[in-house]
A and B are shown apart, each in its own frame.
Chain A
Amino acid sequence: KNEVEQSPQNLTAQEGEFITINCSYSVGISALHWLQQHPGGGIVSLFMLSSGKKKHGRLIATINIQEKHSSLHITASHPRDSAVYICAVSSSGNQFYFGTGTSLTVIP
C-alpha cells in the first residue's frame, strides 16, 4: 500500500505545453512537498505547502486538504523542465512518505 500515489508515471510533452502532474495521499499530513530530480542529479525541493497554492516562475503547486490531493503545473514547458518530479508528504516527527515519481520529457 502506497501512502502517496502520483500520476502519470511518465509524461511526454511538446515544448510550450501546459503540464499537470497529480498527487494523492492517504495519510494525515503537516505539509506536502514537490521535489525535482534531473537525470543523474540530486533532489531539489520545489515547493512545500500545507494549503492553497504557491507559484514560482512557471511552476504552480496547489493542494486540496479535504480531498487529499495536490497538483503541480508547469506552464510554457521547456526541455530543461525534463526531470523526475516527486511528491512527498510529511507529518510530525518528520516522517516522510514519497511517491514513486513522474518522469517528464519535454520535446523541443
Chain B
Amino acid sequence: DAGITQSPRHKVTETGTPVTLRCHQTENHRYMYWYRQDPGHGLRLIHYSYGVKDTDKGEVSDGYSVSRSKTEDFLLTLESATSSQTSVYFCAISESSRGNTEAFFGQGTRLTVV
C-alpha cells in the first residue's frame, strides 16, 4: 500500500471554527490532491499541488485553502467551517501529471460541522 496518512480520521467541529486536515505521504510523489466525497456525487477536487509551494484550485475550492511547505505534507484548511462542508475528505497522490499515472488514496477524514 502507498504510504499516505490522513489525520484526523474523524472530527466534529462547530460552525465558524477553522479546521485543518493533514495529508502525509512517504512516497515522495510530486502531485497531491484533496477531494471531497458526498452522496450522489463523484469525488470532487478541492485543491491540488504540483510541488512544494505550488498549488491550484479545483472545482469546489470556495471556503478552502491549502498549503504545501514540504513534499510530504499537504494541508487543507477550512477557514470558517459551515454545515455544507460536512463531508468525507480524501487525499490522493500521484507521481506525475501524465494521464496514465495511477493515483493512490488515503483512508479519508470524516468531518462533521454542527
Number of A-B contacts (CB under 8 A): 67
Interface readout for B22-54 with A: 1 if CB under 8 Å, 0 if not?
000000000100000000111111001000000
Tell which of A31, A35, A90 has the most Cβ of chain B within 10 Å.
A90
Flag if B42 contacts A94 (CB, 8 Å).
no
Check if B100 sits within 8 Å of A96, measured CB to CB. no
Interface residue total, chain B, C-beta cutoff 8 A: 24
Q: DSSP class of A's interface residues: helix, strand, loop or mixed? A: strand
- How many whole Å from A43's CB to the nearest CB in chain B? 4
* CB-based contact A29/B108 at 8 Å: no
| Interface contact A93-B90, CB-CB below 8 Å | no
Give CA–CA (A30, B40) in the complex, Å: 25
Tell me if A85 counts as interface (CB < 8 A to partner B).
Answer: no
Residue B105 contacts which of A2, A31, A43, A100 (CB distance < 8 angstroms)?
A43
Listed in ascending order, the chain B residues whose CB lies under 8 Å from chain A are 1, 31, 40-45, 48, 90, 94, 96-108
Between A and B, 13 residue pairs with Cβ closer than 8 Å are A2-B42, A33-B103, A42-B106, A44-B1, A44-B105, A45-B105, A88-B43, A93-B97, A94-B96, A94-B98, A96-B103, A98-B44, A100-B40
